[in-house]
Amino acid sequence: MFEPRDQIRAMSGYHSPQVDVPIRLNTNESPFAPPEEWLRQLEGIVSTIDWNRYPDRSATELRRTIAQRHGVRPEQVFVANGSNEVIQTILLAYGGAGRKVATFEPTYQMYAQIARVTGAQVVEGERQPDLTLDVAEIERVVKEHQPSVTFLCNPNNPTGLVEPEHNLRALLKIATGIVVVDEAYAEFSDWSAMELVSDDVPLAVTRTFSKTLSMAALRVGYVVAPEWIIKNLEIAALPYHLDAFKQAATIAALSFTDEMETRVATIKSERSRIQNSLRELNLEVWESGSNFILFRASGKPATEVWQSLLDQGVLVRDCSSWPRLAGCLRVTVGTSDENSAFLQAIRAAVS
Ligand SMILES: *Cc1c(COP(=O)(O)O)cnc(C)c1O
């Protein structure tokens, strides 16, 4: 009687340890604070809100602002508390008991985690040993399982690899349910699925303010999709799920996107510097279209390398116990100083 549902009992939850160390390169946030001017505007916003009233339930102005940014209609936009909540809402509407949700592993763990919480069955496609994804495998999974929801992550977390456009096009041709492309790192990638969104294609593209836009603490994400998908997400979402302050703060933030996106160039050049240095240490390093790098700590056990980095004050993500990622660590690109500290620490750790 005191037991949770079977799906919950079988799971252990999502763990990304938050350790108190000087240099945290484990959760792919932006290393830069948001613009000062935005912070000043927030103070004004607090006093304009009718705090005794519920917020605009359909976040009308916020959706209009986001729609404008992508050249779509407000009816094609749904906003939530982070893109994780967007994914949860999609799976509440389209996953659930008796349905299948497809992922291509290794990929972002929350797709499978949330899908299972809704009671859906997760079917896992496999990437190649080099962690790229074959069209033939996409076709096999969709034809065999007819999933209600299929996830692609572009660029893919935790590999960092850009998902080729032809993979998405092949998937859309045979899709039996909706296709979600998670673009949490879109600004670092060389293409986006956003242009393919239209009311007659079962495609939903998610974005977040947590990474490039330097606002992980604000918890905002959104999805652009056909109106008929958005309508169902609105049914699945809680009433007033977006508070009034967040709506106004996000609208204000959207006038600073250019400023924040110029930081992408800095991160990309730091990314190359880290990749080159890791390769000089003879480590296996994957290409990256994002703000993080996956590498394999050969020679020593990855967990030992991870611990040695931690002892030197640098926290990265230990992926080595995850299926298909034996020996792998993932490092987020930080500020130039943080990256130099990481490189110095990794040299010591692997030598
Ligand atoms: C970080 C991340 C998210 C979560 O973003 P939030 O908007 O902070 O919930 C979603 N998808 C991927 C692939 C991520 O890496």
Taking only the tens place, the pLDDT of each residue in 199-258 is 999 999 999 999 988 999 999 999 999 999 999 999 999 999 999 999 999 999 999 988
Pick the CATH number of 6-33+258-350 from 3.40.190.10, 3.40.50.300, 3.90.1150.10, 3.20.20.70: 3.90.1150.10
User: Which one-letter DSSP state was computed for residue 281?
Assistant: T
Q: Please give the pLDDT value at position 21.
A: 92
| Ligand 1: centre distance to CA 83 (Å) | 6
Nearest ligand 1 atom to alpha carbon 220? 7
**DSSP secondary structure string, 184-240?**
TTGGGSS--GGGG--TTS-EEEEEESSSTTS-TTT--EEEE--HHHHHHHHHHSPTT
Closest CA to 109 of 325, 335, 337, 341: 325
Neighbours of 192 (CB within 10 A): 17
In the chain the first and final C-alpha atoms are separated, in Å, by 54
| Amino acid at site 77 | V
Q: What is the SS3 assignment for 145? A: helix
Closest CA to 114 of 159, 149, 163, 145: 149
- Residue numbers in the chain where pLDDT is lower than 70: 13-17
φ, ψ at 207 (rounded to 5°): -135, 165
Report whether residue 208 contacts ligand 1, using a CB cutoff of 6 Å.
yes
Report whether residue 89 contacts ligand 1, using a CB cutoff of 6 Å.
no
Q: Please give the pLDDT value at position 340.
A: 98
Question: What Rg value do the Cα atoms of the chain yield, rounded?
Answer: 20
| Ligand 1: centre distance to CA 112 (Å) | 14
The rounded mean pLDDT for the chain is 95
**How far is Cα 170 from Cα 289, in angstroms, rounded to an integer?**
21
Encoded tokens for 102:
């497809």
Q: Which CATH architecture has domain 48-256?
A: 3-Layer(aba) Sandwich (3.40)
Domain boundary assignment for the chain: 6-33+258-350, 48-256
Nearest ligand 1 atom to alpha carbon 157? 13
Report whether residue 157 contacts ligand 1, using a CB cutoff of 6 Å.
yes
Q: Please give the pLDDT value at position 12.
A: 74
Q: Please give the pLDDT value at position 110.
A: 95
**How far is Cα 7 from Cα 11, in angstroms, rounded to an integer?**
7
Left if phi > 0, otherwise alpha if psi is -120 to 50, otherwise beta: which for 111?
alpha
Q: What is the pLDDT of residues 303-312, one digit of tens each?
A: 999 999 999 9
Q: Please give the pLDDT value at position 132.
A: 97
Nearest ligand 1 atom to alpha carbon 107? 13
Ligand 1: which of 89, 104, 108 to mutate, judged by most atoms within 8 Å of the beta carbon? 108
Q: What is the SS3 assignment for 348? A: helix
Q: What percentage of residues in the chain have a pLDDT greater than 90?
A: 89
In this prediction the pTM is: 0.95
Which distant-in-sequence residues (6+ apart) come within 8 Å of 298 by Cβ? 282, 283, 284, 327
On whether the CB atoms of residues 160 and 290 are closer than 8 A, the answer is yes
**Which residue has the CA at smallest separation from atom 1 of ligand 1?**
184
| Ligand 1: centre distance to CA 210 (Å) | 7
Q: What residues form DSSP beta bridges with 244?
A: none
